[in-house]
Chain A
Amino acid sequence: MSGPTSAAHAAAPARSGPAPDAAPPHIVARGIAVEFSHGRRRQRVLQGVDLSVPKGSFVSLIGPSGCGKSTLLKVLAGLIRPTSGSVTVAGTAPQEAVKHRMIGLVFQDATLLPWKSAAENAAFLLMTADKTIRRGAALERAHAMLQLVGLEGAEFKRPSQLSGGMRQRVAIARALALDPEVLLMDEPFGALDAITREEMSRSLLDIWQRTGKTVVLVTHSIDEAVFLSREVHVMGTGPGRIIETLPIALPHPRTDESFSDPAFGRAEARLRSLLIESHRGRGSDA
């Protein structure tokens, strides 16, 4: 339908989920600053971060190491309270959103419990969050989520019997089992090899299209960010801040052909030059 000429607009209408322009913001951060104190020394990790993520959108945070992108994700998850600024997730504070199981988290390490099966691991956070749920119901949901992430047949395996990619799939299923509105992912594929990584990106895209969750992904990979996101927030260092927000004008649904779309190349080139710039900025800071 749309060619590269529509590049000014964020994205073509997606197959599922509301269009980003029409959707109300789901995650809003205003003037976020985070300071860590090491004894007497205070380190400013984030400053003046504004972020708005529409409901059902997929956005990425990309930037050099030390730009505070993981810290920003933890702020959105309610794990770190910002020194100043405000965050709302679905209209409430993250600490409140957590209580209503609105936030699902996935980290670089799958961190599965070695004494539990894939299904028990996938059900574990749900059973922690919801004390009233019956074990059987939680496991049933876990099985459904494992199926969604492509792990049918591995439900009863222990983590030691699963590959790195499969373990990460369990971690994603575990987050999805909470049926959160927002999925926050901190370099979820960072520890995987290149081929598994691409496969996981495709899976994630598929999961996002089928569930319509709002996804915020922290990544190091420019390709991954462009292929998956509607919007990429490029972060810089010293202190960490968002230096540019780049809408990705690739049509949805995205397929392997998206890689050869001219819009892909343009977005990639733009991100690369921004990252080189911010990296240089880091050098002059140090």
Chain B
Amino acid sequence: MNRDLATADDAARDGRSPAGDTLRALGEVVPALALLAGTLIVWEAAIRLFKISSFVLPAPSAIFVALVENRVPLAVAAQATAVEVLFGFVLAAVVGIATALVIVRFERFGKALYPLIVLFQTVPKVALAPLLILWFGYDLTPKVALIVIIAFFPVAIDMLAGLQSVEPSFVALMQSVGAGRSEILLRVRIPHSLPHLIAGLKVAITFSVIGAIVGEFAGASAGLGYVIQIASTQLDTPQVFAALVVVSVLGLAFYYAVEFSERLLVPWAPKFDATHRT
């Protein structure tokens, strides 16, 4: 069924109807969970049936055991990675937003800067990880730097698109009452850009998790990427998968945190809902 916009909007403004929202959320989650459970069952059965070694592919039950047994070191590693993601993401967002604002506000400088940013984007940034280790050492800084380099681009590009999405006739209206560039930027362009910005932030948060793991691969003494690397050199495949599960949960939690902020920041924007479009 297709929810109509006005109703969704009203619900968002009136606070919410908890019962209806919970039911709807459950309705959305149940099919996904069922599919996941089905996949796990088939996986488990296949491993047992064909007697596949857990070095090659561990059964879900083995992964679960590894998760429970190593819960403390995994939690410590997850915390280290989460800190990197958080710092990197926030900094990437700041750099991305600032880049877009500078390009729009200072047109000439922006025209010079934009192609350079795009050019920089063609450099495979994962390949920069060893360099960053060389420059910044083994702790937090090189991971944060890598995340910023990877994740600022989608923020900048989407924010830029949002800032430029204001109709020229509205700009003309603002000029017709004597508003200058800065005022138009502040009162019209920036609010207009928020839905686009959020879309960019959603991409950036997933990039941030990737950046943190890659950064840890290149050289680290803590974090989930480090755990994965150590476990794989020891052929402890269940541990590798356990760490991967934690990475996924971490990524999911960050992603939904950003999506939640969308409702607070841009309640007027039509919600993007892939499964509800007909």
Contacts and interface: CB of A to CB of B under 8 A. Distances in A.
Interface of A: 74, 77-79, 98-99, 101, 103, 105, 107-109, 111, 113-115, 125, 128-129, 158, 160-161, 178
A105 B268 contact: no
8 contacts: A79-B175, A79-B176, A98-B178, A99-B178, A103-B176, A115-B266, A158-B268, A160-B6
Contacts of B183: 128
Nearest to A124: B187
Contacts of B28: none
Interface string B259-276: 000000011111000000
Contacts of A101: 177
Interface of B: 5-6, 9, 167, 169-170, 172-179, 183, 187-188, 191-192, 266-270
Contact of B173 (A107, A108, A160): A107
A145 to B, nearest CB: 15
Given A125-B177, A158-B268, A113 B5 contact: no
A223 to B, nearest CB: 25
Nearest to B167: A111
Contacts of A129: 177-178
B178 A115 contact: no
Nearest to A116: B268
Contacts of A161: 6, 9
A108 B192 CA distance: 20
Nearest to A115: B268
A137 B170 CA distance: 23
B172 A107 contact: yes
A129 B178 CA distance: 7
A160 B5 contact: yes
A111 B176 contact: no
A79 B175 CA distance: 7
B169 A158 contact: no
A219 B178 CA distance: 26
A60 to B, nearest CB: 20
Contacts of A79: 172, 175-176
B186 to A, nearest CB: 11
Contact of A113 (B175, B176, B191): B191
Nearest to A99: B178
A114 B167 CA distance: 12
B contact patch SS: helix
Contact of B169 (A107, A128, A160): A107
Contacts, number: 57
A105 B9 contact: no
A78 B269 CA distance: 33
Contacts of A125: 173-174, 176-177
Contact of A78 (B176, B188, B266, B267): B176
Contacts of B187: 128
Contacts of B266: 115
B268 A160 contact: yes
B2 to A, nearest CB: 15
Contacts of A114: 268-269
Given A109-B169, A125-B173, A128-B177, 9 more contacts: A79-B175, A79-B176, A98-B178, A111-B169, A114-B268, A115-B266, A129-B178, A160-B268, A160-B270
Give the 8 A-B CB pairs with smallest separation, nearest first.
Answer: A129-B177, A111-B170, A107-B169, A115-B268, A111-B167, A105-B176, A125-B177, A128-B177
Given A115-B268, A128-B179, A105 B188 contact: no
Contact of B177 (A108, A109, A113, A178): A178
A175 to B, nearest CB: 9
Nearest to B266: A115
A196 B109 CA distance: 46
A111 B173 contact: yes
Contact of A158 (B9, B173, B191, B192): B9
A128 B175 contact: no
B173 A105 contact: yes
A105 B192 CA distance: 21
Nearest to B5: A160
Given A74-B172, A128-B183, A160-B268, A109 B167 contact: yes
Nearest to A171: B173
A10 to B, nearest CB: 29
Contact of A98 (B177, B267, B269): B177
Contacts of B170: 111
A156 to B, nearest CB: 10
Contacts of A158: 9, 268
A267 B210 CA distance: 71
Contacts of A160: 5-6, 9, 268, 270
A163 B177 CA distance: 26
Contacts of B169: 107-109, 111
Contacts of B172: 74, 77, 79, 105, 107
Most B CB atoms within 10 A — which of A98, A108, A115? A115
Nearest to B184: A128
A77 B178 contact: no
B199 to A, nearest CB: 16
Contacts of A99: 178
